[in-house]
Amino acid sequence: MRTNSNKFLNQYIVLCFPNAKINIGLNITEKRKDGFHNLETIFYPVSICDALEFTNLSAPNPNKPYTFHNSGISVEVADEENIVIKAYELIRKDYQLPALQIHLHKNIPFGAGLGGGSADAAFMITSLNEAYNLNIPVEKQEEYASKLGSDCSFFIRNQPTFAYGRGELFKPVTLDLNNYFILMIKPDIAVSTAEAYANIRPHQPEASLLDLIQLPIKEWEGKIINDFEESIFPKHPELKKIKEEIYASGALYAAMSGSGSTIYGIFDKEPEASPTLQKHFTWKGKL
């Protein structure tokens, strides 16, 4: 399993590597009175990552106590919508922090169901805490992160987790996939949250996800389900084709992560993506 990885080059420069997650199973169990949905899923950390660096700003602007730079995949949002900046500002309200020069090298694709933005924000919180000796308890760090997104606080502990409620309530699980490989395919398909939930039919699963993950992985197919596939695949048949091709490549298990549009496969040996799959964003590695 992957945990927070921070490398302090000196007391003023910090480099960390926010990693992604996949969803193993995703059941939409009921619609709430507040309009949201209750769900249950397993979050599992994977090693594809961004690189986040910050350093004390030598000549801070009193009206803007940070600068933000970006490389890799472009982050095309205003500062007030940038989740990394939001994390910094959230901690700065309660703790004394220096003005920062922040650089994010973005490698985890957006709209992929991999939690890349949430990871960036969570690692900003954990790295600020460690770099400036803030001594924020883990539970308080999770509380800060939860204000930025329902899955954001998962990345504070960054361990296999059963998520329920709206996806913001967590329970640790024993699940070790270290001996397996993963292949992830992210086509150029965007799935909005509204679209994902449009044709969802909430239901209680026949078997507990916590029980099902104890089965051998080769028995997960057809038992551990992502409910969003039923509503999204008819609108985006390319996603279903990718899943079928991943299985044809020898995957023990394949599924969509979150509300998409990444399809991943778990393998017992290093996978090879077919030329058809390689036309999309492709990433493979050890789990």
Q: Catalytic residue positions?
A: 21, 151
Can you read off the two tokens belonging to residue 39? 């769900």
Q: What is the distance of C-alpha 36 from the center of its chain?
A: 20
52-72 as b/e, with b when 16 or more CB fall inside 10 Å?
bbbbbbeeeeeeeebebebee
Q: Rounded to the nearest 5°, which phi and psi values hold at 193?
A: -60, -40
Measured CA to CA, the distance from residue 220 to residue 281 in angstroms comes to: 25
Cβ atoms within 10 Å, residue 9: 10
**DSSP 8-state class, residue 273:** -
The set of residues, in sequence order, having a beta carbon less than 8 Å from that of 216 and lying 6+ positions away, is: none
Measured CA to CA, the distance from residue 161 to residue 259 in angstroms comes to: 18
